[in-house]
Amino acid sequence: MTNSFSMDLKDSTSEGSLGSLQPSSLQIFANTSTLHGIRHIFVYGPMTVRRALWALAFIASLGLLLVESSERVIYYFSYQHITKVDGLVANSLVFPAVTICNFNGFRFSRLTTNDLYHAGDLLALLDVNLQILHPHLADPTVLAILQEKTNFQHHRAKVFSMSEFLGRVGHDMKEMLLYCKFRGQECSHRNFTTVFTKYGKCYMFNSGEEGHPLLTTFKGGTGNGLEIMLDIQQDEYLPIWGETDETTFEAGVKVQIHSQSEPPFVQELGFGVAPGFQTFVAMQEQRLTYLPPPWGECHSSDFGLEFFPIYSITACRISCETRYVVENCNCKMVHMPGDAPFCTPEQYKECAEPALDFKKARGALELIKEKLFDLLGPEEEDGSHDENVSRCEPLSNHSAPTSHTVTVPLQTTLGTLEEIVC
């Protein structure tokens, strides 16, 4: 009886020892996994130095993997891109538009008594009381003409329009153009299109408008582009006793070379050409294709402007300025697009010009930026805005002109002639 009880006790004890040695699910997974190192960590038996070293190595490796993986994920969502520059040789290129403006926007001989009655103060020739400003500074001949034209004693004021005024008193290309050749073929004032800018009445060569088909060129160099000689008619310049927004101390013309799809912005993007010199201008066409979001911040072709069918920074700037002037002055300047009424000379001086004078009215720049942001539409209100909004589609762009000026021995007309070669 005693022997039987002793045997049963030994059997139960041995079965309990075997049950305590059964591996856990984690140990089974670690020993059957192909993951390197994990089987050396979760082994049967007590903790050893070998198991601790394997555990440290495994944790360090896992940490490095997580750090590198997170870095790659962040890099992926930053939408990195590569700027690719390709130089292509074309058999022919569309010749760019060339806008030319005389620094003087008003011919003195074309001013009438009615012009001076309405715009004499704007031109800084008369004061608010219609009296000649600084008569002691005027040349006797000029003073005599002014005194005759400012005799308002029997004058009856007539309707005055700034648009008609600028078109009539601005310089005429037919009179200014002395010599014109394009690719060795003669051209004339008929190849120029009238366009109004901040400088008044200007002229654009190769505008691409109706009746002016686009001209192309096959190679660069002198004789393969546009070559013109101008008489700037300095004898027609207004007498200047002080520089204003409508008058200047400078003489010559200002030129901008740009794409036909981009409106001229001569006052900021043009370069001056002095009289009595020959100036060579070399240009290089560039076509830039921007990436859409999320890689870039350009907008597709359906992103249009109120006054221009094709988006460009220049067109956007003019649109913003136009909207700002119209909203604050209830009129527009002659060079601005749209169907708003033209400003009167008083509105030019008291409202429109100060609004665009960023040096005197710095707040206007911020307001114009806000108008630009409004153009982005309500769907962009939650995002950040960039004033350099770009168009995704390639737009022809001409790099900054490289000009070379040399003296031209022009006899007696040295001060009134200038030649431009593109």
DSSP labels, 365-413: HHHHHHHHHHTT-GGGTTS---S--EESS-EEEEPPPEEEEEE---GGG
Distance CA 342, CA 334 (A): 6
CATH of 280-367+405-421, one of 3.50.50.60, 1.10.287.820, 3.30.9.30, 2.30.29.30: 1.10.287.820
What is the pLDDT at residue 41?
81
pTM of the model: 0.72
Q: Mean per-residue pLDDT for 323-348? A: 94
Q: Mean per-residue pLDDT for 351-360? A: 75
Check whether the bond before 341 is cis (ω within 30° of 0).
no
Residue 406 has pLDDT above 50, yes or no: no
What is the pLDDT at residue 385?
39
Give the bridge partners for 404, in sequence order.
Answer: 280
pLDDT in tens, 95-150: 999 999 999 999 999 999 999 999 999 998 998 899 988 888 888 898 999 999 99
What is the pLDDT at residue 91?
86
Residue 401 has pLDDT above 80, yes or no: no
What is the pLDDT at residue 284?
83
Please tell me whether residue 285 adopts helix, strand or coil conformation: strand
Question: Phi and psi of 281, rounded to 5°?
Answer: -125, 120
The full set of domain ranges for the chain reads 34-70, 280-367+405-421
pLDDT in tens, 85-100: 777 778 888 999 999 9
What band does 18 get if pLDDT is binned at 50, 70 and 90? very low
Residue 371 has pLDDT above 50, yes or no: yes
What band does 383 get if pLDDT is binned at 50, 70 and 90? very low
Range of 48-57, 187-196, 394-403, 411-420 with top mean pLDDT: 187-196
Residue 11 has pLDDT above 60, yes or no: no
Q: Mean per-residue pLDDT for 182-188? A: 94
3-class SS string, 178-238:
EEEEECCEECCHHHEEEEEECCEEEEEECCCCCCCCCCEECCCCCCCCEEEEEECCHHHCC
pLDDT in tens, 31-88: 777 777 787 788 777 788 888 898 899 899 999 999 999 999 999 888 887 777 777 7
